[in-house]
Amino acid sequence: MDTWFTLPTVSDERPPMTNLPAYPDFTVTLSGNDWRQAEFININKLCAVGEEMDEIKDVRINHSKEFADGMRQYHRLYTRHQVGAPELFIPLFELKTFLKSNIIGSIAMQEHPGFVKQGFALSSAAGCYYGLEENGVVKSLCIHNLTHAAEKEVPRLVRVFSLIYVNWCNCTILTP
């Protein structure tokens, strides 16, 4: 029996968990496969991002099939490991202000009890941003459930904070 995957890639990182939510306003629940699929990364890691992207493109081109239901599935799954930590340094209050987000939530993972340690979530017109922060500084930032408004908001975020945006499954990279 052949094994088929619904995504061409996943992150090799799993966030640390804790029993207490970092922020009380709301909780966004992600599956393990959602973790770091559409993320912002330090621009200094562009070469590593390109190398990982080449591997994912190979999976999409050479190891996939469209089934009768119109869904594309993958016979191989690439686990990302070269990029490592996104190495961001964005003050959380600046990100909140930029996104015009008044409340901060926590992150839960479907497969694990509890909450992501030092995890945060912010809602905006573009979708739900989430990531990890330490002492009020955003160290990783991703976006989930993108809306049409993301087409304008994400490029502005990339320019303002000098980041690269990577949507791993769609094989897209956006630079400032």
- pLDDT tens-place string over residues 24-39: 899 999 998 999 999 9
**Distance between the two ends of the chain, CA-based, in angstroms?**
45
The mean per-residue pLDDT over the stretch 132-161 comes to: 95
Quick: pLDDT tens for 75-121: 999 999 999 999 999 999 999 999 999 899 999 999 889 999 999 99
Pairing of strands 137-144, 38-42: antiparallel
Q: Nearest CA to 43 among 168, 170, 163?
A: 163
1: pLDDT confidence band, cut at 50, 70 and 90?
low
Quick: pLDDT tens for 115-131: 999 999 999 989 999 99
Per-domain boundaries in the chain: 13-46+84-174
The mean per-residue pLDDT over the stretch 126-142 comes to: 96
Q: Nearest CA to 140 among 172, 175, 169, 166?
A: 166
Q: Nearest CA to 23 among 133, 110, 137?
A: 133
How high does pLDDT run on average in the chain?
94
pTM value is 0.93
